[in-house]
């Protein structure tokens, strides 16, 4: 069966990208990466993609007058690569409603908190400050509001008394590396549907 052509958008380190690359390396995995695109030309994640022999593109947002023209260039590359699904993996640009609706239900994000708690930046610092007992990560369909949209998978980690921002981020990242490939597998297997604004995962 044809594997789902998946593009990954990054801005930096690319450890989630690496987890996705590793999952897709199995020929039995139902998705393949058709493009890795970064808005930062120097992103370390691009080297990971290159090392895996994947097509890469750098589209620097700095070279465009506005968000719309940057996003048009991104969409052009996604379509040229035949992307059927787009995964944001540490892609740190806010996307316009126009881009989000163009890729409606084909655009997925991972965020390092148990949404709807702590959208935006500095999630771990804010979780520690709030004194939550559980932190975690969320894979979700992207909607126009930042870090909002129907949840596909979440993983929780317990917060300990001696946690720092760094120690918590590291434990959450470990979980991100598990649930992002798992979410991709479920989507590519056709097991994820949206009904009434909520995700239904078959066999979950
Ligand atoms: C990850 O923790 C991801 O959840 C987060 O950026 C990090 C990227 O790490 N994304 C967001 O905060 C998006 N709102 P990586 O480059 O090593 O995958």
Q: What is the 3-state secondary structure (H, E, C) of the chain?
A: CCCEEEEEEECCCCHHHHHHHHHHCCCCCCEEEEEEEECCCCCHHHHHHHHCCCCEEECCHHHCCCHHHHHHHHHHHHHHCCCCEEEECCCCCCCCHHHHHHCCCCEEEEECCCCCCCCCCCHHHHHHHHCCCEEEEEEEECCCCCCCCCEEEEEEEECCCCCCHHHHHHHHHHHHHHHHHHHHHHHHCCCEEEECCEEEECCC
Statement: residue 72 has pLDDT above 80: yes
Q: Is 155 in the pocket of ligand 1 (CB under 6 A)?
A: no
Residue 7's Cα: distance from chain center in Å?
10
What is the band of 85 on the pLDDT scale with cuts at 50, 70, 90? very high
146 lines ligand 1 (CB under 6 A): no
Mean pLDDT of 82-97: 97
Paired tokens of 154: 């979440």
Cα–Cα–Cα angle for 100, 37, 188, nearest 5°? 65
* Mean pLDDT value across the chain: 97
Q: Round to whole Å and give the CA distance between 172 and 168.
A: 6
Indicate whether residue 71 lines ligand 1 (CB < 6 A).
no
d(CA 26, CA 31): 10
- How far CA 132 is from CA of 21, 128, 185, in Å, comes to 32, 6, 30
Domains of the chain: residue spans and CATH? 4-111+139-151+177-201 (3.40.50.170)
13 lines ligand 1 (CB under 6 A): yes
Number of C-alpha atoms within 13 angstroms, CB side, residue 25?
A: 11
Asked if residue 138 lies in contact with residue 151, where contact means CB atoms within 8 angstroms, the answer is yes
Cα of 111 vs centre of ligand 1, distance in Å, is 6
**What pLDDT is attached to residue 204?**
57
Percentage of the chain beyond pLDDT 70 is: 100
- Measure 171 CA to ligand 1 centroid, in angstroms: 13
Instruction: Say whether pLDDT at 147 is over 90.
Output: yes
As a whole number, mean pLDDT of residues 139-164 equals 97
4 has a pLDDT exceeding 80 = yes
pLDDT in tens, 168-192: 999 999 999 999 999 999 999 999 9
The Cα–Cα gap between 171 and 3 comes to 31
pLDDT at 203: 76
Find where tokens 């930062």 sit: 40
Output the pLDDT for position 105.
Answer: 97
CA of 88 to the centre of ligand 1 (A): 9
Q: What gap in Å lies between CA 84 and CA 138, rounded to an integer?
A: 21
Estimate to the nearest angstrom the gap between the alpha carbon of 203 and the chain centroid: 22
Output the pTM of the full model.
Answer: 0.97
136 close to ligand 1 (CB < 6 Angstrom): no
Does residue 13 carry a catalytic annotation?
no
Cα–ligand 1 centroid distance for 166 (angstroms): 13
**Does position 160 have pLDDT exceeding 90, yes or no?**
yes
* Ligand 1 atom nearest 110 alpha carbon: 4
């Amino acid at each position: 069966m044809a594997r789902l052509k998946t593009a990954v958008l990054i801005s930096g380190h690319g450890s989630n990208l690496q987890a996705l690359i590793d999952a897709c390396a199995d020929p039995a995995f139902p998705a393949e990466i058709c493009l890795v695109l970064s808005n930062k030309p120097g992103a370390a994640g691009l080297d990971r993609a290159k090392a895996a022999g994947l097509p890469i593109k750098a589209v620097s947002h700095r070279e465009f007058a506005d968000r719309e023209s940057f996003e048009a260039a991104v969409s052009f590359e996604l379509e040229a690569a035949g992307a059927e699904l787009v995964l944001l993996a540490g892609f740190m640009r806010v996307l316009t409603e126009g881009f989000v609706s163009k890729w409606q239900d084909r655009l997925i994000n991972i965020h390092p908190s148990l949404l709807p708690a702590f959208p935006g930046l500095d999630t771990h610092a804010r979780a520690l400050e709030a004194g939550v007992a559980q932190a975690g990560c969320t894979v979700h369909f992207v909607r126009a509001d930042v870090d909002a949209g129907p949840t596909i998978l979440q993983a929780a980690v317990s917060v300990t008394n001696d946690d720092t921002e760094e120690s918590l981020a590291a434990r959450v990242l470990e979980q991100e590396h598990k649930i992002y490939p798992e979410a991709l597998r479920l989507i590519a297997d056709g097991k994820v549907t949206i009904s009434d604004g909520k995700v239904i995962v078959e066999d979950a």
